Amino acid sequence: MLILTCPCCGVTGEETEFHAGGEAHLKRHGPGSTADQFEEYLFMRENPKGVHFERWRHVYGCGKWFHAARSTTTLEVYGTYAAQTHEPPKDLRDTISKKVPGWTWREFQ
């Protein structure tokens, strides 16, 4: 079972109280960007076995969006953090490194 703690209201609930919002930290490149960059924004997604970063919404609770780092294999949640974040926070990355040495996700490790 996937159990998430919403960083906005503090409630810990199981998966069905939330709604998955896809991969975290996608970047939409601005004016003048290339077709390849736009394609990447629209279609190119990570599909990791292990550490993954996602957007979630506490849809049946406070209604807020947030980010979550979890394992796609064990469903262990390493942490949740604010939606207003452009990349995985350093302290969370350090926490994951202690549990999963050598993990990588996009340009992060």
The residues of the shown chain that bind Zn ion, judged by CB under 5 A, are: 6, 8-9, 58, 61-62
* Interface mask toward another protein for 80-99; x: CB under 8 A: --------------------
Q: Which is nearer to another protein, 6 or 96 (CB)?
A: 6
Which residues have CB under 8 Å from 83's CB, separation 6+?
Answer: 55, 64, 65, 66, 67
The sign one gets for the Cα dihedral 15, 98, 104, 107 is: positive
Q: How far is the CB of 74 from Zn ion (least distance, A)?
A: 23
Q: Which is nearer to Zn ion, 9 or 20 (CB)?
A: 9
Q: How far apart are CA 72 and CA 46, in angstroms?
A: 12
Q: Binding to another protein by residue 16, rule CB under 8 A? A: yes
Q: Binding to another protein by residue 60, rule CB under 8 A? A: yes
